Copies of this chain bind each other. A is one copy, B any other.
Amino acid sequence: MDAAPLQVIPYDRPTLSALLRRHGIAPTHQRLEIARVLFARCQHLSAEQILHQANERHAETSKATVYNTLNLFRDRGLVREVIVDPKRVFYDPNTGPHHHLYNVDTGEITDIPADGLRLSGLPELPAGMVTEGVDVIVRVRSAGVSGLG
């Protein structure tokens, strides 16, 4: 059901507009700005970071709108939530199948491409259950840094 993987596409205003429309989202000024922040570089950004970057040029997007918009984008499958840090949610513009490397020291998140990673032996699901997705999170830390005494 997913559209083609979205990589290395120059996201100008009209392209973003079409992208939103394709997902059933009316392309308002604020939404385009948030989409631009998300898709410009394919990073993993928190709501706060998105708010900040969206308002770098002109402050024109409120915190409430950032949260509303991110939830809307998530519901429409435009972005994916990354749950690795209990403190905050990150948003990932890459909705294709892939996984994540999480540096618990720095908070840095890196993509792990899904091809090449094989996962087998998953148990059968209970009746009436449908898989929504499988997240693999590799937690790493800088060598030599230890949380133990």
Which A residues form the contact surface with B (CB < 8 A)? 75, 77, 81, 83-86, 88-89, 101, 103-104, 112-113, 116-123, 125, 128-144, 147-148
Copies of this chain, how many?
A: 2
Query: Are B131 and A134 in contact, CB atoms less than 8 angstroms apart?
Result: no
| Known contacts A75-B148, A86-B89: A143-B130 contact under CB 8 Å | yes
Partner of A143, one of B103, B117, B123, B128: B128
Residue of B whose beta carbon sits closest to that of A115: B121
Bound CA span A118–B118, Å: 8
Extra pairs beyond A81-B86, A83-B85, A119-B119 (18, CB < 8 Å): A77-B148, A83-B84, A86-B86, A86-B88, A122-B138, A125-B138, A125-B140, A128-B143, A128-B144, A130-B140, A132-B139, A133-B139, A134-B136, A134-B137, A135-B136, A135-B139, A136-B136, A136-B137
Q: Nearest chain B CB to A34's CB is how many angstroms away?
A: 19
| Known contacts A128-B143, A142-B128: A136-B112 contact under CB 8 Å | no
Residues of chain B within 8 A of A141, CB atoms compared = 129-130, 132
| Known contacts A86-B83, A118-B119, A118-B120: A134-B138 contact under CB 8 Å | yes
Query: Are A129 and B117 in contact, CB atoms less than 8 angstroms apart?
Result: no
